[in-house]
Amino acid sequence: MDGATPRKRPLPIRIGRRSAASGAAEEETVAGKARAVEEEEEEPLSPAAQLFHQPGFDCCIVAIMGLGKPADVDVIRSGLAATLVRHPRFSSVPVLEESGGAEPRWVRTKVVVENHIVIPALEDQRRAAASPDQVVEDYVASLTSAPLDRSRPLWDLHVLNFPTSEAAAVAVLRVHHSLGDGTSLMSLLLACTRKASDPHSLPTIPHQSRRPLVSRKLHAGGAFTLLLWLWAFLILAWNTLLDVLRFTATSAFSKDTTTPLTGPKGVEYHPKRIVHRTVSLDDIKDVKNAMHCTVNDVLVGVTSAGLSRYLSRRYGQNVDEHGKKTQLPSNIRLQSTLLVNIRPSPGVHALAELMEGRHSGTKWGNYIGYIILPFSIFKYKDPMDYIRKGKEIAGRKKNSLEAIFTYKSGELIVKCLGIKAGAALCHRVLSNTTLSFSNMIGPVEEVAFYDHPIVYLAPSVYGHPQALTVHFQSYMNMMKMVVTVDDKVIPDAHQLLDDFAESLKLIKEAIPTKP
């Protein structure tokens, strides 16, 4: 709604040069003793980290973990103290403004783990709700309108210690996006886990190739002739040029078609509902193998099919001036923004060493660029056409430097015009697109979070100016489909998940049978 009132956010921490403390008594910052601490105790906030402290970008990453047994809070507390809080970002507070014009920076602080663990009393809600799942869903939704305490390191863990349909208990880790990008934070979370079958071993994460498709083909065929390398360069340059033009147009004037998925002005301040559904990873791999593509290509196609199915229903609920049901328009422009980590993500082993106090040379922070990923919204007769189109779109994006361009251009704008100009550009790009989309690879075997087996993992993000976020998270032989919505825009989030699941089913059934 145009008249949306931004939710109140705590003021940034302001620390004078001679200030001695800020925040709770148990968590005294060392900002007032800056001259006495070592230089490594403070680090500057990167431009991306500063972005997530600007109005309209108060973003948090949420990881919902289903646990295989009731939560032992004492064990979890000890585990956090021995690992997560030893990470520099999880033991620092951001100092955004200070007299004298000092640069925004991270300042180390003493962390009291108890202050970051929340065990809510939900007995009344459990009696009133239709199911425990609904209680968890409502509670997580309430977190999206409850800002983190800025006087402490920007993270907390909420333990809902009662059984649901999928788990014996649920833990919700909430982390402010300024602490790191989604890939780094997910790697950090997994570095706090161990294999359930071997408590001394870190989880196994499949390697994901980052090389462009054209480069892979050249290497595979041994075709290193000047002509072929020139052709590969021209393809890369052409795709990058088209993507840069699309990005520039989107940031300046080109907006997506207004649909039932479009968020209103001020949607970033609205509470969000996070729902998830489990589907078989083997089904997705069957489609991948049949179409000779990647898992990500399949997920792009399934998302396109699910959104087409959902929008077709929503449009069919209305009638035109002649009393006829409206049809799904054939020229819908619907795009997603995809955040891409432009440097190699820190591995779980490197992060485990970092939390053990060993220097691993791991780079940390938000090193992310934007990719604008279009979705084909159309009712194809052959369900496999969604996969073919998804493969075509995703394949072209693999041969583009769009993410690097957007990161570097954003960095240049911040240097020349300041962080507010950079934030305005990012806000405009997200506001002119419909949704955010991401896909992340998880462990291939069962892992335990401080001796608590994880039965499912459902991450997402909120606080950005879109009404819909779609995330896919693999874990063992499962794929979690996670949808985050503004209830006022998309009141039937579970129906949207049904449409994704049904689309995958129809696509799998349409796999050509071998003669």
- Note whether 257 and 375 are within 8 A (CB): no
186 or 26: whose pLDDT is higher? 186
CB 102 within 8 A of CB 19: no
Of 364 and 195, the structure prediction assigns the larger pLDDT to 195
pLDDT at 205: 82
Contact by Cβ (8 Å): 155, 444: no
The answer to whether 461 touches 140, Cβ cutoff 8 Å, is: no
Catalytic residue among 158, 177, 276, 427: 177
Q: Largest alpha-carbon pair distance within the chain?
A: 79
What pLDDT does 204 receive?
84
Q: What is the pLDDT of residues 438-466, one digit of tens each?
A: 999 999 999 999 999 999 999 999 999 99
Q: 385-402 pLDDT, tens per residue? A: 999 999 999 889 989 999
Per the structure block, which two tokens stand in for 131?
């199911």
Distance between CA atoms of residues 500 and 284, nearest Å: 12
Helix (H) or strand (E) holding 101: none
Strands 273-280 and 60-67: unpaired
Convert the pLDDT of each residue in 166-207 to its tens digit: 999 999 999 999 998 888 888 889 889 999 999 989 888 876
Q: How far apart are CA 309 and CA 499, in angstroms?
A: 6
Q: What percent of the chain has pLDDT over 70?
A: 82
User: What CA–CA distance (Å, rounded) separates 425 from 163?
Assistant: 44
Percent over 90 (pLDDT), the chain: 63
Block residue for tokens 């909120």: 462
What pLDDT does 348 receive? 67
pLDDT digits (tens, 9 = 90+) for 111-123: 999 999 999 999 9
pLDDT in tens, 230-275: 888 899 999 999 999 999 999 989 999 999 999 999 999 999 999 9
Q: What does the pLDDT look like over 133-152, one tens digit per residue?
A: 999 999 999 999 999 999 99
Tell me whether residue 177 is one of the annotated catalytic residues: yes
Superfamily of structural domain 226-346+366-438+469-510: Nonribosomal peptide synthetase, condensation domain (3.30.559.30)
Task: Round to whole Å and give the CA distance between 337 and 430.
Answer: 7
pLDDT of residue 317: 83
Query: pTM for this one?
Result: 0.86
- Eight-class DSSP state of 325: B
Between CA 120 and CA 161 the distance in angstroms is 9
Q: Is 164 helix (H, G, I), strand (E, B) or coil?
A: coil
pLDDT-derived band at 353 (thresholds 50, 70, 90) equals low
Q: What is the pLDDT of residue 60?
A: 96
Mean per-residue pLDDT of the chain: 85
Structure token pair of residue 266? 């001020």
Identify which of 309, 311, 368 has the alpha carbon closest to the alpha carbon of residue 343: 368
Phi, psi of 319 (to 5 degrees): -125, 150
- Of 38-42, 370-374, 498-502, which gets the smallest average pLDDT? 38-42
The burial class, CB within 10 Å (0-12 / 13-18 / 19+), for 215 is middle
Average pLDDT score over residue span 153-168: 97
Q: Would you list the DSSP string of 235-286?
A: HHHHHHHHHHHHHHHHHHT--PPP-TTPPPTTGGGS--EEEEEEEEHHHHHH
How much is the pLDDT for 300? 96
